Chains A and B, each alone.
Chain A
Amino acid sequence: MSTRIDKVILGEGVQKYSSTKSILLRLKDIPVRKERDGSPEEVPDVSDEMKMDMGKDTVHLVSYQGEFLKPCPGTREYICCGYQILNVGTNCPLDCSYCILQAYFNRPNLRVHVNLEEELSQVFQTIDSEPDTIFRVGTGEFTDSLALDPVTRWSEIILPGFSKRKNAVLELKTKTANTRGLLESGYRDRIIVSWSLNSPFISRREEHRAASLTRRLECARECQSAGFTIGFHFDPLILHRDWMDEYKRTVDLMDKQIEPEGIIWISLGSFRFMPVLKPIIRRRHPETSVLDGEFVLGLDGKMRYFKPIRMELYSFLRELLNQWYPDLGVYLCMESDEVWQESMGWTPETSEGLCNYLDERVRKFFG
């Protein structure tokens, strides 16, 4: 994926940050303008112009005033993995039809939090204050972790601090092939590079601007060969014609490229979305088939596949992955105890149980 940035907007007071200076240097041929007062004329709601590109070609440098480290907004109705989000920026240059970010943020543009470097000490202070807790931290929740890395060099900024901590791991989650920064860095310990995967059909039709499945797996192999621990996320699993054959093709591709013993975990999550996302997807991606399944209202207020359908999806993938290698750390994202038991054959029972399971994987891989 090549970034197609054609505009840079400077938020208030960002010029003093070193990240701003280095980003502007890297984007020296791109027109830059200042944000004006944040008036409604200047910063339109995304919701009113669902056809618009959500500013996917505009980098907006802002000084983020909220908490940089926050727990993933799980719900008590389903079992949550206890992930922590490092909020480096919001919105994403990729344009996956199913992406929840289309409805999540009310402001457009690729918003880069340029005060990250200055605020990282606060983040590490939090981590250091709880030495007995393992912090599984990721940057890929509100944006793709690596899509903007050639511009932001987040990998340069974040990796050193995490690499030297014994009670944290950093997961960089991506659908891109932007691994050069990582590969050039000297940091490997406690860094996980992970790729979101899907069936070739979904990847081709729905994951616009993302790297091809083959390319993602080639990059994963390169990272693995270069000493990185890797992970995968089959999220969202989407029901479609010949889905079993299609997902099997993906696992076959993984088999060709990846050493399974170097995989720390693989998550499975079926497609779920806030009801408000549906008209946005219909409007922005009229050819999509991701909405074709039988979605019902989940206990968390999000739409999700009818329970037996989810169980079938997970059971199939679990079996497929298990046949490949029996110790892949496969887990379900935001599912109930019942679905866990029925489709995985065991259950962590609670969010705490799942946290313990994943923490154990961290200890196994990083000590």
Chain B
Amino acid sequence: MDINNITEIIPQPVVLSNIDDSPGPCCMSFGFDLNPLIQSIERVGLINPPLLKRDNQGSITIITGYRRIKALKSLKADRAECRVLSGDDILPIECLLLNLYDNLAVRKLNDVEKGMVLARLIPRIKTLEIMEHYMPLLGLPSNKATLSSYLRLEEEMGFRAKESISQGQLSFRNAMMLLDIDSISRSSIIDLISNIKLTVNQQRQVIDYTVDLSHIEGTSIFDILDEQSVKKINSDTRMNNPQKGRALIRYLRMRRYPSVSKAEREFKKMVSKLNLGKMVRIDHSPSFESPYYRLEVLFKDGPSLREKLENFMREDIDILTDPWKM
């Protein structure tokens, strides 16, 4: 059929209970909030009629308007004005594209939904065309690495992980890091991320540290996160979430990088033996990689700088050395 003529189909009342509203082959909605749509329909009614397909056996599936049908059903509506096509009139790929463009016209898809779109396009459209045409439409870079990542997300991630991604709790990049770990461990990380509301950077660190630790210690990520030390941080009522996040990262980092952490502690201890005052600081380079340390002095004028430097020189600065040489 000429899909440009869809709008010429006259809407007709359809009994909502006859419509199959399980996420079908055209569906590209995940993790959405139905409430704004419900409120809109309550206030001004259904503006755009959904597009449905009736097959030879009489069963009705949704081409466009999945969320509208859901909203109408939750409003306990009996029937709704819909455009209905016969199954013979339209090809599956046309249904899919109608739904895609219908969605793209009114909203931005989340990462899970983009994965759904690409997974549905893959069997029907050449990879090259998907990359050149459809990925830019979805706001994605046209390369196979990205395509492959989104397909893996759709195919391999469980509901809980997808929910976290669609709600913005788990970043797409970090979700990719979770793909290669077992589902129990994955769930325990996602639970932790959701409970403590870790930042994107903290999520990356937790995943990285726990994956490494599970390899090094020969234990599962689930077991690491189920340990008393982690549970204690998670359930500490004296800390808010950002504090818990920092405490967790500190704990895991110390365990993953014992020598680096020890050097940092020793360095701190060494510097604290000097009476530097508030306006003078001594820092080491990141992970001590540079051979140099940094002395920072805040001062108002020349005489105050002289005073601070003289005080500093009176301290036992000879104790300063690389902490691993102590």
Do the beta carbons of A306 and B148 come within 8 Å of each other? no
Within the assembled complex, what's the spacing in Å between the Cα atoms of A47 and B127?
16
A-binding segment of B44-52, B80-88, B254-262, B307-315: B254-262
A165 located at the interface, meaning its Cβ lies under 8 Å from any Cβ of chain B in the complex: no
Known: A296-B289, A298-B289, A299-B290. A48 touches B148 (CB 8 A): yes
A163 located at the interface, meaning its Cβ lies under 8 Å from any Cβ of chain B in the complex: no
Within the assembled complex, what's the spacing in Å between the Cα atoms of A308 and B324?
7
Minimal Cβ-Cβ distance residue in A for B127: A41
Within the assembled complex, what's the spacing in Å between the Cα atoms of A336 and B292?
12
Known: A294-B257, A306-B260. A282 touches B145 (CB 8 A): no
Do the beta carbons of A296 and B212 come within 8 Å of each other? no
Contacts of B180 in A (CB 8 A): 279, 282-283, 286
Known: A289-B215, A291-B215, A292-B215. A45 touches B145 (CB 8 A): yes
Q: B226 CB to closest chain A CB, in angstroms?
A: 22
Q: B46 CB to closest chain A CB, in angstroms?
A: 42
Q: B180 CB to closest chain A CB, in angstroms?
A: 6
Q: Please classify the interface of chain B as helix (H, G, I), strand (E, B), loop, or mixed, using the class held by over half of its residues.
A: helix
Known: A292-B216, A299-B290, A338-B291. A48 touches B259 (CB 8 A): no
Contacts of B286 in A (CB 8 A): 296-297
Minimal Cβ-Cβ distance residue in A for B149: A48
Contacts of A296 in B (CB 8 A): 257, 260, 286-287, 289
Q: B50 CB to closest chain A CB, in angstroms?
A: 36
Q: Give the one of B143, B177, B256 with max A CB within 10 A.
A: B143
A209 located at the interface, meaning its Cβ lies under 8 Å from any Cβ of chain B in the complex: no
Contacts of A336 in B (CB 8 A): 291
Minimal Cβ-Cβ distance residue in B for A44: B144
Do the beta carbons of A294 and B259 come within 8 Å of each other? yes
Known: A297-B289, A298-B289. A292 touches B212 (CB 8 A): yes
Known: A279-B177, A283-B180, A292-B215. A47 touches B289 (CB 8 A): no
- Which chain B residues (282-299) contact chain A, with CB distance < 8 Å? 286-291
Contacts of A41 in B (CB 8 A): 126-128
Do the beta carbons of B288 and A307 come within 8 Å of each other? yes
A261 located at the interface, meaning its Cβ lies under 8 Å from any Cβ of chain B in the complex: no
B71 located at the interface, meaning its Cβ lies under 8 Å from any Cβ of chain A in the complex: no
Contacts of A307 in B (CB 8 A): 287-289
A12 located at the interface, meaning its Cβ lies under 8 Å from any Cβ of chain B in the complex: no
Count A interface residues, CB 8 Å. 27
Q: B140 CB to closest chain A CB, in angstroms?
A: 13
Contacts of B127 in A (CB 8 A): 40-41
Minimal Cβ-Cβ distance residue in B for A292: B216
Q: Identify B259's interface contact among A39, A291, A297, A308, CB under 8 A.
A: A308
Do the beta carbons of A297 and B145 come within 8 Å of each other? no
Contact with B along A303-322 (1 / 0, CB 8 A): 00011110000000000000
A6 located at the interface, meaning its Cβ lies under 8 Å from any Cβ of chain B in the complex: no
A49 located at the interface, meaning its Cβ lies under 8 Å from any Cβ of chain B in the complex: yes
Do the beta carbons of B143 and A294 come within 8 Å of each other? no
B192 located at the interface, meaning its Cβ lies under 8 Å from any Cβ of chain A in the complex: no
B147 located at the interface, meaning its Cβ lies under 8 Å from any Cβ of chain A in the complex: yes
- Which chain A residues (165-195) contact chain B, with CB distance < 8 Å? none
Do the beta carbons of A48 and B147 come within 8 Å of each other? yes
Within the assembled complex, what's the spacing in Å between the Cα atoms of A292 and B217?
9
Contacts of A47 in B (CB 8 A): 144-145
Within the assembled complex, what's the spacing in Å between the Cα atoms of A297 and B215?
20
Contact with B along A267-310 (1 / 0, CB 8 A): 00000000000010011001001011010111100000011110
Known: A48-B143, A48-B148, A297-B286. A291 touches B212 (CB 8 A): yes
B211 located at the interface, meaning its Cβ lies under 8 Å from any Cβ of chain A in the complex: yes
Q: Give the one of B128, B146, B215, B288 with max A CB within 10 A.
A: B215
Q: A251 CB to closest chain B CB, in angstroms?
A: 25
Minimal Cβ-Cβ distance residue in A for B292: A338
Do the beta carbons of B216 and A40 come within 8 Å of each other? no
Within the assembled complex, what's the spacing in Å between the Cα atoms of A160 and B180?
49
B131 located at the interface, meaning its Cβ lies under 8 Å from any Cβ of chain A in the complex: yes
Minimal Cβ-Cβ distance residue in A for B146: A48
B263 located at the interface, meaning its Cβ lies under 8 Å from any Cβ of chain A in the complex: yes
Do the beta carbons of A297 and B287 come within 8 Å of each other? yes
Q: Give the one of A294, A297, A298 with max B CB within 10 A.
A: A294
Minimal Cβ-Cβ distance residue in B for A298: B289
Q: Give the one of A40, A283, A294, A307 with max B CB within 10 A.
A: A307
Q: B156 CB to closest chain A CB, in angstroms?
A: 13
Do the beta carbons of B144 and A40 come within 8 Å of each other? yes
Contacts of B287 in A (CB 8 A): 296-297, 306-307
Minimal Cβ-Cβ distance residue in A for B287: A296
Do the beta carbons of B259 and A40 come within 8 Å of each other? no
Contacts of A49 in B (CB 8 A): 144, 148
Q: B137 CB to closest chain A CB, in angstroms?
A: 18
- Which chain B residues (113-166) contact chain A, with CB distance < 8 Å? 126-128, 131, 143-149
Within the assembled complex, what's the spacing in Å between the Cα atoms of A286 and B214?
12
Within the assembled complex, what's the spacing in Å between the Cα atoms of A284 and B289?
29
Top 9 nearest A-B pairs by Cβ distance? A296-B287, A48-B145, A48-B144, A48-B148, A338-B291, A308-B324, A47-B145, A292-B216, A294-B257
Q: A45-B143, A338-B291 are in contact. List 8 more A-B contacts (CB 8 A).
A: A40-B128, A40-B131, A296-B260, A296-B287, A298-B289, A299-B289, A299-B290, A306-B263
Listed by A's residue number, 24 A-B pairs whose Cβ atoms lie within 8 Å are A40-B127, A41-B126, A45-B144, A47-B145, A48-B144, A49-B148, A282-B211, A283-B180, A286-B180, A291-B212, A294-B257, A294-B258, A296-B260, A296-B286, A297-B287, A298-B289, A299-B289, A299-B290, A306-B257, A307-B287, A309-B259, A336-B291, A337-B291, A338-B291
Chain B residues within CB distance 8 Å of chain A: 126-128, 131, 143-149, 177, 180, 211-212, 215-216, 256-260, 263, 286-291, 322, 324
